[in-house]
Structure 1
Amino acid sequence: MTLSNVIWAQRVRVACLLFDDRGRLAARYDKVHLFDVQLPDSAECYTESATIAPGDHYVVADTPFGRLGLAVCYDLRFPEQFRAMSAQGMDLLALPAAFTAATGAAHWEILLRARAIENQCYVIAAAQGGRHDNGRETFGDSLLVDPWGLILDRLCAGPGVALGKLDQAFLRDIRQRFPVLEHRLA
């Protein structure tokens, strides 16, 4: 066992789990990009690497709805992750998150819409919102975005359900009429 394995063994992982229709674990993604930041114009500082071990690979799994990519929170800021998952045939992306109030207000919606547009996939983003016991405030604003970047539904705050149609024919049509994934240079 290497020293790095011992160090990471003392930390938890932040995982996005996919279960099948029988309740069995179908896929697991461990968050790759850790949120180690000092927010601009703020005293807020986060060091996830102090308690969290990063994952080491991306996950795209087969589902009845298409190929589902899994990601978590801060991963959203790394477009190369989603391009790699797109190359694995990703049709939709599930991304649970707890963006801070400041980063969520500034970046949440635009990043989700950008990932949907540039990868021509649906994005399902469940977002934790509200004030927490430690004083931290998360943004909320769960969204369902289509491959054209249109918001199909949103849940701004509080418990609830956001609904929308994941239309495979629309997805195929967008990809056929606007084949950006085929046009990009290597």
Structure 2
Amino acid sequence: MPSPMTVASLQMISTPDLERNLDIAQRLIGQAAKQGARMVLLPEYFCLMGNQDTDKLAISEAFGQGPIQEFLADQAVVRNVHIVAGTLPISSPVDGRVYNTTLVFNPQGECTSRYDKIHLFCFTMGEESYDEGRVLLPGNTPVVADVDGFKIGLSVCYDLRFPELYRAMGKVDLIVMPAAFTYTTGKAHWEVLMRARAIENQCYVLACGQGGVHENKRRTWGHSMLVNPWGEIENILAEGEGVVLGQLDPAKIDDVRNSLPALAHRVL
């Protein structure tokens, strides 16, 4: 059984300027590390919330190289932390679109896991309209990373609505959820979905949202939080930039699974 581990969710209100976003991320990573975090989670699109969907194409990088990935690797080494890097645009060989990718870096600066977001958000209500498939390609493979002995299920934003993804991961200790949930959908569904994923998988969920009004006029829900395996919210930040800290306790996971062995009772 791994030792308890302090984790941090770094809520941002990312801008259309890559360098400004990296400066903010660097400052928040530093704050979290000083408070004892061993693993930090950045939000979806931490590096860019552009004025148009296509803006992310201009900063896309080939997997394994590029200034965003170099920044993440350097920060992991300098701060001696694992970084679960929200999402960044990773180039593909297909029709000009990119993957919305989560990368995990260890304290040696090595990229140890890659997850390409599987479910692409599409939503229309009134004047709000989004269709990620215009510029993104979907991934097709669930990914479980290892961070200091903890099994970490990687997922992104809209993935939250598809419980079969998490069942495909098997038993995990933590689900991470970097997101840029809209204010409309977040207000209606964010908390209940987050707690449901924790309850049904009897694991921790660490959510990291974009949280406020962006320069492109989009408003995101925020409410970055740590939910424990019993479905209780242990820490939360509603809006604004900041750090949400909490601890993963393996004994808590075992207690919940032993008291209510729902995972062992599955028949389908």
Q: Is the TM-score greater than 0.5? A: yes
Q: Match for 2:132: what amino acid?
A: E
2:156 pairs with 1:72: yes
1:35 alignment partner in structure 2: 121
Q: Match for 2:142: what amino acid?
A: Y
Q: Match for 1:50: what amino acid?
A: R
- Alpha carbons 1:121, 1:171 under 8 Å: kept: yes
Supply the RMSD in Å over aligned alpha carbons: 1.4
Offset of residue 27 of structure 1: 0.5
Q: Match for 1:76: what amino acid?
A: L
Offset of residue 65 of structure 1: 4.9
Q: Match for 1:62: what amino acid?
A: D
1:120 alignment partner in structure 2: 202
Offset of residue 9 of structure 1: 4.2
Offset of residue 167 of structure 1: 0.7
Q: TM-score, normalised by structure 2?
A: 0.64
How many pairs align? Answer: 177
Offset of residue 161 of structure 1: 1.2
Aligned counterpart in structure 1 of residue 251 of structure 2, from 164, 169, 178: 169
In 2, Cα distance between equivalents of 1:140 and 1:69: 21
Tell me the secondary structure at the aligned position of residue 244 of structure 2.
Answer: coil
Where relative contact order (Cα < 8 A, 6+ residues apart) is larger, the structure is 2
Tell me the secondary structure at the aligned position of residue 95 of structure 1.
Answer: strand
Tell me the secondary structure at the aligned position of residue 102 of structure 1.
Answer: helix
Aligned counterpart in structure 2 of residue 108 of structure 1, from 187, 190, 198: 190
Q: How does 1:1-186 map to 2 (within 5 A)?
A: 8-39=94-125, 42-85=126-169, 87=170, 89-186=171-268
Offset of residue 23 of structure 1: 1.6
Q: TM-score, normalised by structure 1?
A: 0.91
**Residue deviations 1:54-99, cap 9 Å, x none?**
11101001111510011000000001101111x1x31101110000
Tell me the secondary structure at the aligned position of residue 113 of structure 2.
Answer: strand
Gap runs ≥5 in structure 1: none
- Alpha carbons 1:91, 1:121 under 8 Å: kept: yes
- Alpha carbons 2:211, 2:241 under 8 Å: kept: no
Offset of residue 133 of structure 1: 2.7
In 2, Cα distance between equivalents of 1:127 and 1:65: 25
- Alpha carbons 1:65, 1:166 under 8 Å: kept: no
In 1, Cα distance between equivalents of 2:201 and 2:127: 35
Gap runs ≥5 in structure 2: 1-91
In 2, Cα distance between equivalents of 1:65 and 1:21: 14
